[in-house]
Structures are given as C-alpha cells and as structure tokens.
A and B are shown apart, each in its own frame.
Chain A
C-alpha cells in the first residue's frame, strides 16, 4: 500500500510503522512497535459470497465450497501465525461475514496478539453483527464499493448492493469500528472515484483504498476492461489532486493506492513537479523503506482450504498447505526457486524494468500481471505508465513517449 495522504500531506496512520518504518514519529497508535519482516496475511475464510462480482480474484461463488478450514483448524493456524510474528490478519473471502464463526476467529486473533481486520462487501453487516465484531476486537473494516449506485450494482451483480453496502458502512461506523472504502479501479468506474469519496466522506468514512485491477480469478477475465496506461496515470493524478484539495480544506482523509507500485515512482515525480526536489527526495526515502511490491514477502494469502499463496490475487499457484506444514515453515522455505527469485527480483526483472531507475521502490509492480500478459513472471508489468524520461532520467530513450 502507498499512502498518498501520508506522503503528500503528512497524515499519520496506524500503518506508518509497517509501511515506512515511521511509526515512532507518528501521532497514531502503531500496529507494531518495530518494523516487521513478517507478512500481513490475507485469509480467505470462505469461497462463498452473496454477490457475484465481475472482478473477484477469488472466483467466489454463491454456493459454499468444500474443504474450508474449520473453526478449530483456524484458531490453531492463528496461533501459529502469532508465533511466527504475523502482525495483521485480513479476514476476507468470498464474503467472510457468511461464516458465523467470524467473531470467534477475530477474537482469537486479537487474543493471540494479531491485529484483526476485515475485507467485506458490507451487505451482511447489521448493527448487531458490527457491534459483535467490535467486541471481538476487530480493528478495521474495509467495505468494497466500486462506483456510484448503478455502476456498483452492475459490477456486483445485484441491484441494491450499493445501498446495502452503505448500510453496512454505517453499521460499522455506528459501532465505533474504523471503516474504509475498497475500490477497484477499472475503465468502467474510474469516472466515479471522486463522487464516491464525496458521498462516503459525508457519512463519516475517512479512509479510501484504491486498488489497481490484478489479473487473478475473474479479474483476469476482464483484463480488457482495464485502464490504458494513460488513463491510469490520469486517475492516479486525480486521486493525488483530490487528496490535496481535501486536506487544504481541512478534511484529513486518508487515501491509499494498492496493487501497482509504479504509483510510487509517480508520486515522487508528482511531488517534484509541485513541491520541488527536497520534498520529492524525502518522499522517495520513505518509499525506499516501503520496499515496493510486497508479493511473496510482506503480504501472503491463505485460502479457505489452507493453501498458501504469494498474494491474495495469485490463487492459481500455491506454495503449500497449512494442513501439511505450519505457515511459517512454508513461507521461510526458500528452496522453492520461484520464492527465492521473487525475493531478489530486481536482478531478474527484464525489459524496461531492468534499466528503470525506480525499480528499487517499484520492484517491477505486479508479477502476476506480467505472468498473465506475457507468460513470464519477470516481464514488465503491463500496467506501468511511467514515461521513458521518468524511467531512465535525463538519458531519454530516442522516440520514447508518455506512458509507453
């Protein structure tokens, strides 16, 4: 995650220590006292969902799937994750609120010293359920909304999904649970971003996470509806402008970009244009600490059957299964040649990434998108929108054009 509001506006947040090793100076209580090398773990509790979204990376379905980790298996896995030092577990799905043991698992994670957070479509979040999750120790609820009502409902396959999600957001806010937006940007909904922020900001949401589409699950099926590099650059620039405008007007919203670390390079260039070299250099130092795309290192995924994945979006390949080995043993096993190469990926990146001066803060972006688009894990990310000049500096390639 890259925090626009932290980098451009200096807004402190609980994740500063995780993302920038900047927690000691933050005004917010930090997730961890020390920067950890252990991953944030996304746990897809179930594959079942009450909606059928066009872009679902988990390929969730309306029907339940067999082989879900049981409550008992889940609590034991949480203990193992805590022993290993995992700082955060993101309970996800499918729709995690379909499982009626969610509160038990959230409470167990909190008791074990893991920060429990939730990714949900919000439609099942009644006031009673939100209060129960708060009492269980839930620290954050991220609710997915992907456009204004008509567009969101078409995307999510159900009329009324927007209003139901809004009801869920209000239930979490009323229960006192910090609540944020999760928004996957595509060609179809990029135009709605500011209006959705305006609408949700008015009901009390102050955290907005914008995800670039990754090409896993059904997300891979709609890759042709992804933004062009030029449109992506424009969308990210608009989010930066919007964040600055909100802060200038005294409303300290938190805005984050997720899933395309070319954004890190863009933010440095954006800051250089508007605030000068010194600010750009300070932002770049924070992004160097952040370390670029976290796949296979600072983020991990455990699916509903216990299979461990390099990121939640990369469900088509599994490193192993927690029913066979503890998560930590699987994650630390660098005898797997793909894992070891991913963890030193700068030396394996090819094409324009190999000579990019920002590869230390981007690390090639999404390896899954590269694999999906080029059939090569270390090829350039097709979503890169940096210009030749931005990639190689003054020594611009002949004939290079914007966002090529």
Chain B
C-alpha cells in the first residue's frame, strides 16, 4: 500500500559524472548508515573516494548509483513546480 502523501523525488542529483550514494557500517553489529554521496566515473573510483573520506571508520562500505535510488518522502520542497525550473533556468 503506498502512502498518498509521499512523493518520489526523481530530479537528477548529478550531471555528467555519476553520483554514488555511500553507506557505512561501523562494526559488524551496527546498521548501515547513509553518509552522503561521492561523484566518480566508476564504482572503483567511487570506492577509492569513499575510502579516503571514511575508510578508517568502516567495517564495510556500500555504494549505490544515485540514479538507481528511488527516494519516497513526505517532504515537500515544491517538487511539483517543474514549470518554474525551466523558466527560472533559461538564459535571460
């Protein structure tokens, strides 16, 4: 059953270079934690970058292409206002 109050945020989160969502597990008994995203052309480079930022902290690192993450939320920042995006973004 879907929540009618929740919307799927499907705007792009990157342009050109792919964005990778980063999840860490501090210890084997801990849950995975989302700690942001890195921009990287490949999974290997994304892992290298995430390791540079968090490597010493993590039992394990999971990476997921941001474009593959479906994000449903009841937050409303005005996502339905797509018309304004194009009018706002056009060169004046």
- Partner-B contacts on A (CB < 8 A): 46-48, 50, 59, 64-77, 97-101, 124, 129, 305-307, 315-325, 335-338, 371, 375-377
Contact = CB atoms under 8 A, between A and B. Distances in A.
B4 interface: no
A30 B35 CA distance: 36
B49 A316 contact: yes
Nearest to A341: B57
Contacts of B85: 68-71, 73
Instruction: Please classify the interface of chain B as helix (H, G, I), strand (E, B), loop, or mixed, using the class held by over half of its residues.
Output: mixed
A70 B24 CA distance: 32
Contact of B54 (A69, A75, A337): A337
A305 B11 contact: yes
B55 to A, nearest CB: 10
Nearest to B9: A323
Question: Which residue among B37, B49, B71 has the maximum number of chain A CB atoms within 10 Å of its CB?
Answer: B37
18 contacts: A48-B89, A65-B12, A66-B15, A70-B78, A70-B84, A73-B85, A100-B91, A100-B92, A124-B92, A305-B11, A305-B15, A317-B49, A318-B19, A321-B13, A323-B75, A324-B9, A336-B35, A338-B53
Given A322-B77, A337-B54, A376-B52, A70 B12 contact: no
Interface string B50-92: 0011100100000000000001010101110111110111111
A381 B41 CA distance: 26
A59 B17 CA distance: 11
A337 B35 contact: yes
A48 B89 CA distance: 9
B56 to A, nearest CB: 9
B42 interface: no
Interface in B1-45: 9, 11-16, 19, 24, 26, 33, 35-40
B7 to A, nearest CB: 10
- Which 6 A-B pairs have CB atoms at the shortest separation, nearest pair first? A67-B12, A72-B78, A72-B81, A100-B92, A70-B85, A101-B88
A101 B91 CA distance: 10
Given A98-B92, A317-B37, A77 B87 contact: no
B12 A66 contact: yes
A73 B71 CA distance: 17
B71 A324 contact: yes
A100 B75 CA distance: 27
